[in-house]
Structure formats: structure tokens, C-alpha cells
Amino acid sequence: MSPRPPTQPVLRRRADRPGADDWPALLATARELENPCNCCCRHCGARRHEGERGYCGATSSARVTKAFVTYGEEAFLNPASMLYFAHCDLRCAYCSNADAIRDDFTGGAPADPTVLAAAIDDAFRAGKITSLQILGGEPTCSLSSALAVIAGLRSAVPVVWNSNFCFTPAALALLDRVVDFYVADLKFGNDRCARELCDLDHYWPTVTANLRRVDPARLLVRHLPLGGHGDCCCKPVIDFLRRELPRVPVSFHQLIPDAAGRTRCLRDDEWHRLDQLVAQAGLKRLYADFCLRDDESAAHAFVSEIVIRKDGSVMVQDLSAPLRNLLKTLHDTN
């Protein structure tokens, strides 16, 4: 595998990870947080074990919607085992997994922690993955089941919690016992845009407070810039990181616009202004990239995800930089 650039974070399994004797109490705490539910900032109080569903729609039986290996993350995460749980506490207009976060979603497969942990361990020991990313939807909606997968791991695979950071302090306190690294999506720079585009009040104070609570050495912040939201979202996000988390790396991913047209990609001039703001702020910027290993399996590595919507439109996720540039060139010449 190519050596990590010096600017990349160091990803390793924490030395103080919980032992076998610690897990029964940790899992019991997670189940208590879910019943009545106090996992996210909505504090819905749903009693999942009695069949109640809150805003996210999650029950006591978590479901996995996707599981695959990607080479399209930031270099220090590649190759990453991506474990997607259903349900989410937000309703982002541009969500690429919208079908899997409906409050009545029953698709995917039941989460079997033993089977999932064994498969992840095998992949890590065989050198096929560098990290396990747990994401969704929002994985905190499936807190006890996701932690049960981590409890079942027997290898030293680092665990990355990929989250919208709308969880409660109680949930974060539990996560911080078991998670090695965080990838945080800082989506909006103010409450108004968050209310309009993800249906959540008090977004900004909730997410920024949680970001302050995390060890900066174990954090990557991602921002998905929205066209037309430079002053209201991009700039406040960059200013916040400059002031309060200057050592934390940040990356800016490409938006996949929603079919209804509520969001759009950045124009070239908007990308240029964003680049200038990041440079002026002196932020440590990382890029999602394509990282191949030297063995034969790399030739068959899964890099991108193609999604065909019900209306026939097609979108591509986890796109490597070379392929993204190639598609842009083809688009511009047609």
C-alpha cells in the first residue's frame, strides 16, 4: 500500500479499548439509552422495545442496508469496510440513502453482530481493509446493535464512527469509550438552512458542541458544500474550524443534487472562493482519493456506488478523483 502522506491523521486501534468484562455493562447502557430513546438531540423518548418508533423510525431490531469495501475515502481510511445501518434523525434534502432512512423502512437485512464482526475481522487480518466505518443513515439510531458489532471484533481493526454529530452527550460518552476515530459531517452553518434542508431546529449549537467534546486528534470533519450557500454555510463552517478546531483535518466532498432540485452543485467560481477561504483560514485540508494496493485484488476493488433512482436518474457515490475528473471532462466535451 502506498505510504500515507505526512498530513494524514494516524489511524490505529486504541490501547485502552474495552475488554470482554466491560462489554455487558456498555451494551446494557446503550439499550437503556434507546428505551426510552435518548440517543439523539430530538429526545423523542420512544420505547423501542415496546414497538414504538421515534422520528428516525428505528426499533430494537437494527437493519443493515449496505456493506462493502471502498477505496474512495481519504487516504488514511482506505481501504475501508463500510457498514451502513438504516434510519436517521435528519431528513436532508439531498440524501443519497433516502429510501433507507424512512421511518417505516423494513428493507436491508437484520443486523447479526456475530456474523458481521467475524467478516470484518477476516478482511482486516487478510490485509483487505484498513478501517471499519460505521455509518448510515445515522448509526447512533442503531446504537446498541452497532456497539454489539464492535464488541464482537477480535482483531485490531480501527473503528471509525461516521456521524452527523446530532447525538446526545450521553450517547457520545458511551461512544467515546469504544470508538477509535470520528468522521463528522458538519452540514450547515446556521439553523435556518438546517431547518429548511434537514428538518432540525437547533442544529448549529448541537453539532458544534459535540465537535468540541471530541479529542481533535481523533477527528476528521467533512463539509458538503451546497451551491448558493457560500456565505450562510461554507463560510461559518470554515470560520468555526479556524477558531476552535484548527488542528482538525477537513475535507469537502462533491454534492449529489436531489432530484427535486432543492440543492445544486457548486459552480467553478464557488469552488474557487471556497478554496480561497480554506487557504486563508490555514485549515488542514484532505481530499477523498483513490488508493490502490499492489496485490491482484486491487484490480477488482469496489470504488464507486451507482444508484439508480425510481425516476430513472442515475447518481454515483464514492467516486475516485481520477474517475471524477474523467467524467467531468466527458461531460464538458458533450
Query: Which pLDDT score, from 0 to 100, does residue 5 have?
Result: 45
Q: pLDDT-based confidence at 299, cuts 50/70/90?
A: very low
**Position with higher pLDDT, 260 vs 181:** 181
Nearest to 195 by CA among 100, 97, 90: 90
Domain residues of the chain, as ranges? 27-333
CATH of 27-333, picked from 3.20.20.70, 3.10.350.10, 3.90.1150.10, 3.40.630.30, is 3.20.20.70
pTM for the full model?
A: 0.86
Task: Give residue-wise pLDDT tens across range 64-75.
Answer: 999 999 988 999
Residue with cell 488508493: 291
Q: pLDDT-based confidence at 83, cuts 50/70/90?
A: very high
List 109's β-bridge partners, or say none.
64
Cα separation, 243 vs 227, whole angstroms: 24
Task: Give residue-wise pLDDT tens across range 137-157.
Answer: 999 999 999 999 999 999 999
Cα separation, 167 vs 42, whole angstroms: 9
Instruction: Write out the three cell numbers for 152.
Output: 464482537
DSSP designation for 68: E
Q: Is the pLDDT of residue 326 over 60?
A: yes
Q: pLDDT-based confidence at 334, cuts 50/70/90?
A: low
Cα separation, 159 vs 192, whole angstroms: 33
Q: pLDDT-based confidence at 259, cuts 50/70/90?
A: confident
Q: Is the pLDDT of residue 291 over 80?
A: no
Task: Please state, as a whole number, how many other Cβ atoms lie within 10 Å of the Cβ of residue 3.
Answer: 7
User: Average model confidence (pLDDT) for the chain?
Assistant: 87
Cα separation, 2 vs 77, whole angstroms: 12
Half-sphere exposure of 98 (CA within 13 A, CB side): 17
Q: pLDDT-based confidence at 97, cuts 50/70/90?
A: confident
Q: pLDDT-based confidence at 305, cuts 50/70/90?
A: low
Cα separation, 247 vs 251, whole angstroms: 13
Q: Is the pLDDT of residue 91 over 60?
A: yes
- Percent of the chain having pLDDT more than 90? 69
DSSP calls for 233-264: IIHHHHHHHHHH-TTS-EEEPPP---TTSS--
Q: Is the pLDDT of residue 307 over 70?
A: no
Q: pLDDT-based confidence at 319, cuts 50/70/90?
A: low
Q: What are phi and psi of 156, to 5 degrees?
A: -95, 25
Q: Is the pLDDT of residue 289 over 70?
A: no
Q: pLDDT-based confidence at 310, cuts 50/70/90?
A: low
Task: Please state, as a whole number, how many other Cβ atoms lie within 10 Å of the Cβ of residue 268.
Answer: 7
